[in-house]
Structure 1
Amino acid sequence: MKIPTAAGFVTLMLFCLVHAEICPLSCICKPLGEMKGWLVDCSSKGLKEVPALSVSTRKLYLQNNSMTTVRTGAFDNLHNLEEVNVSDNPWNCDCDILYLKLWLEDFSESSIANVICATPASNERKPLSQLSGNELDSCRKSLPIKCLGFFWRDLALITFVVLVLILTLCALRFSKKLAYQVTTRDNYSAVPLLRKHNLENDMSQ
């Protein structure tokens, strides 16, 4: 009796460990049999963010929670996912919602169809699928700041290049002037010596 009991206990422990690794805390997970994946039901759990999910998740239910956004990359490892429901959440449709919008658009049109914005007021009750980048408030606000930053950076770079060119031209002009002065001075000092040499030659003749 001891061997079967021990074997059963070990099997139960292994099942619990696998289940804990696959199933997020407070969610309900069910194996899908021949599909070799899991149904992960996290609906109506009061979740404020997407929990850590296993790569073996095939069906994911996150509807009717308190999520306002999805962190970037939250769904990137779910390569086997076939169905997802994120409706009935108070989504805050600002720049941070772009990841969810783009991911759902790539995943399926039916998945994004029921995602409705709750905030900000300008996007309240609007379908996420109908929002463009210009309608996302923080994206529109941050754009002028970023453009202004690029403008000042480029202006500083152009100014630096112009100053370098001006200094280079001045240095070249100064070096040419200095070389001309040195050459002229050498020529002037050579003239008396040449005259003296010619005079000595005339006298010797």
Structure 2
Amino acid sequence: MNKGLLLFLLLCRVESKPCPPCLCEPLPGKLGWRIDCASVGLKEMPVLSIDILILEMQNNNLTTVLPGTLDILRKVEKVNFSNNPWNCDCSILYFKMWLEDFHKASLANVTCAGPASVKMRALSHLSGNDLKGCQKPLPISCLDFLWRDVLLIAIAVLVLILVVCTLQYSRKLANKSTKQQHSSEIPLLQIHDMEDRKSK
């Protein structure tokens, strides 16, 4: 391929701005962008580009991040999502898990604005059970418990029967060996008695 064409394509790629309606600047010495969307009143995440290295989204009106929105940020080195009114219900789990994978320190700066049960708590300290709508109680089926209990009782009875049979069999073997031992001793005693009588 022509070196001039390759250089032209590379420059076009660097010069094409991946910017949402925010302040965008190329990072010197790196093939990537710093996107500064701080304090611009955003209510939802803008469309992002793979070339973003620094993303600043603090001091906006973001309440959630749709699943998949941040997956394009494969080269990102730093993010800031602090001071947004995050709605920490079950829909925030994607955002929480993405931040956990990306950078724990960034997650610590994200604070919930609602619902009331988690207001002013750091998202990093919440589990799925704390997030409204994530706790789905499992339906209790009495029939499942009944079959499980019947199975456990049947296994216990079977084990008990096997133990009793084993004990009876071992007792029979012990009695049989004792009888054989006594029967082998009787002729010896009789011979001994006969010898005693002869000697008298």
Q: For this structure pair, what is the TM-score category when the shorter chain's length is used for normalisation?
A: 0.5 to 0.7
Matched, 1:93 2:88: yes
Aligned pairs for 1:117-156 (under 5 A) are 117-140=112-135, 143-144=136-137, 147-148=138-139
Which residue pairs with 2:44 in the alignment?
A: 49
Which residue pairs with 1:40 in the alignment?
A: 35
The whole-number CA distance in structure 1 between the counterparts of 2:85 and 2:26 is 30
- Equivalent pairs counted in the alignment come to 133
**How many Å apart are 1:113 and its aligned residue?**
1.1
Question: Which of 11, 15, 19 is matched with 1:23 structurally?
Answer: 19
The whole-number CA distance in structure 2 between the counterparts of 1:65 and 1:51 is 12
The whole-number CA distance in structure 2 between the counterparts of 1:90 and 1:70 is 12
Residue 100 of structure 1 aligns to a residue in which SS?
Answer: helix
Aligned pairs for 1:109-188 (under 5 A) are 109-140=104-135, 143-144=136-137, 147-148=138-139
**How many Å apart are 1:71 and its aligned residue?**
0.2
Residue 139 of structure 1 aligns to a residue in which SS?
Answer: coil
Residue 70 of structure 2 aligns to a residue in which SS?
Answer: coil
**How many Å apart are 1:82 and its aligned residue?**
0.3
Which residue pairs with 1:79 in the alignment?
A: 74
Which residue pairs with 1:202 in the alignment?
A: none
* Aligned-residue CA RMSD (Å): 2.3
The TM-score, its normalising length taken from structure 1, stands at 0.60
Residue 59 of structure 1 aligns to a residue in which SS?
Answer: strand
Structure 2: 5+ residue runs without aligned partners?
Answer: 1-11, 145-200
Matched AA of 1:23: C
Q: Which has the higher helix share?
A: 1
Question: Which of 56, 60, 72 is matched with 2:55 structurally?
Answer: 60
Matched AA of 1:28: L
Superposed CA deviations along residues 116-146 of structure 1, whole A, max 9, x for unmatched, are: 0000000000000000111111112xx13xx
Residue 33 of structure 1 aligns to a residue in which SS?
Answer: coil
The whole-number CA distance in structure 2 between the counterparts of 1:58 and 1:93 is 26
The whole-number CA distance in structure 1 between the counterparts of 2:53 and 2:128 is 30
**How many Å apart are 1:48 and its aligned residue?**
1.0
The whole-number CA distance in structure 2 between the counterparts of 1:139 and 1:53 is 28
The TM-score, its normalising length taken from structure 2, stands at 0.62
The whole-number CA distance in structure 1 between the counterparts of 2:71 and 2:33 is 17
The whole-number CA distance in structure 2 between the counterparts of 1:89 and 1:135 is 19
Residue 23 of structure 1 aligns to a residue in which SS?
Answer: coil
The whole-number CA distance in structure 1 between the counterparts of 2:29 and 2:114 is 41
Superposed CA deviations along residues 17-44 of structure 1, whole A, max 9, x for unmatched, are: 822xx111x2010000211100000111
The whole-number CA distance in structure 2 between the counterparts of 1:31 and 1:110 is 24
User: Which segments of structure 1 move beyond 3 Å, counting only runs of 4 or more?
Assistant: none
